[in-house]
Amino acid sequence: MATFQEKKAINFLLRSNKLCPNNAEILNAIGTCYEKISNFDLAKSYFLKSFQSNSLFFLPLLNLAVMEQSLGNFDNAKKLLKQIIDKDPHNGEAYRNLSIMKKYIVGDEEIETMKTIYKTLQIDNNKMHLGFALSKALEDIGDFENSALYLVESNDYRRNQFSNFNIKNETKNFNLLKEVLSYDFYKKNMQYGFKSDMPIFVIGMPRSGTTLVEQILSSHSMVKAGGELNEMSKALNREVANSSSVNMFQKIANLSPENINNIGKNYCQSLRLIDGTSKHITDKLPLNFQLVSLIFSCMPNAKIIHCTRDARDNCLSIYKNYFWQDVMPWSYNQIELNLYYNLYNNLMNYYNSVFKSKIFNISYESLILNPEKNIKELIRYCNLDWEENCLQFYENKNIVKTASVAQVRNKLYASSVNSWKNYQDFLPDLFFNLKSDLN
């Protein structure tokens, strides 16, 4: 269901299209808006119209390929990406998206083609995307040393795009989180929270198994997948907008009982725009782990599932991936990623120690080793009756827009467990002194 703002944006673009018919950029923007509200047929139609109006404008084809990929239509996505590469052989973003779905083998000519193109390019976004693709391809054939070289160069370029970020501010913020959003904050405010058991939050570090857990949950007939939502922070920002406090932490500390209830109520109302009938809706924005105490205060009956994974595998998986949103600058630097993980580890150890069984912790490794036992415990925690479909989560047709888009369409496999060992000699700063207490 489209929000008022989304409808407004689409109507504006449709009017613009009437004034400037066959404008490729406008048509592409309309397609993007329709994709956002899950009208995939109209999105596809406008992406194709955009490309037809300007066959040298490859962005709509790329957008269509990524949409097909997120829907699990991998053959369609591969055809579109290869079509782009045939017409624009230096398109690094097309290669990177293709690499997500492809398993490379020794002797694959595409690897040598990418290497040749890489050498000709000046360092820019295009070369960065190609570097991530080459790293994945070389990992597939077991050349981990050269895979790491491309990975470091691409990550360094991406990290430099966040010139204002300082990891020291993250350390300060995490300390304030523990101070402000403490267990005492919850005890003081939970009586005012909005009493709904609709939300199921799936939290943890990125690449810790959050998408997999959401796929499992949403295979149940009573659960709708919401994906990665920003609704919690939006509901909070709405309530503190008129606060006279200087910074966000002071604003949170000064929330009134009415504010607490409104955050929960407004958040749940925003979920209803996603689905009007499902008993439960998931929110798998991983970094909501920072807001555990606020979530339980505003919605005492909400469920929070915390996904964990071996710290070294988790950090490697983050470092190997490009995130299209301009977020998480720390993910592109080995030392900063290492430090951020330890901050997360410390905060979640605190929340687990005070909230105890109110948070359900699920280990990626345990899930791989004994899926049925762990999935049944997960479903039981959510107060749901057992359904066999939850074991066939890989058949779930939900749209997946995360880096796990290919993995969650397959049965569970253990090949990614202990994969950090392949890189331990080449990415030493990433693994040094990582805290793994959560596993």
Instruction: Please enumerate in sequence order all residues whose Cβ is within 8 A of that of 109, keeping only pairs 6 or more positions apart, or say none.
Output: none
Task: Give the model confidence (pLDDT) of 294-346 as tens digits.
Answer: 999 999 999 999 999 999 999 999 999 999 888 999 999 999 999 999 999 99
173-226 confidence digits (pLDDT tens): 999 999 999 999 999 999 999 999 999 999 999 999 999 999 999 999 999 999
Q: pLDDT (tens digit, 9 = 90+) per residue, 343-387?
A: 999 999 999 999 999 999 999 999 999 999 999 999 999 999 999
List all residues 6 or more positions away from 203 whose beta carbon is below 8 Å from its beta carbon: 210, 284, 285, 286, 287, 288, 289, 292, 304, 305, 306, 307
Cα 272 from chain centre: 21
Given a cut of 70, whether residue 1 has pLDDT beyond it is no
pLDDT of 149: 98
DSSP letter for 391, please.
Answer: G
Q: For the chain, which domains are there?
A: 4-88 (1.25.40.10), 168-431 (3.40.50.300)
Residues 27, 49: Cα–Cα separation, whole Å: 7
Task: Please write the tens of the pLDDT for every residue from 237-256.
Answer: 999 988 887 789 999 999 99
Structure confidence at residue 416 (pLDDT): 85
Share of the chain above pLDDT 90, in %: 86
Tokens 């402000």 map to which residue? 180
Residue 395: which pLDDT band, with cuts at 50, 70 and 90?
A: confident
pLDDT in tens, 84-133: 999 999 999 999 999 999 999 999 999 999 999 999 998 899 999 999 99
Q: 371, 66 in Cβ contact below 8 A?
A: no
Least confident of 147-161, 290-304, 350-364, 405-419: 405-419
Decide if pLDDT at 439 tops 50. Answer: no
Average pLDDT, the chain: 93
Q: Closest by alpha carbon to 300, among 384, 199, 232?
A: 199
d(CA 47, CA 77): 13
- What confidence score (pLDDT) does residue 298 get? 98
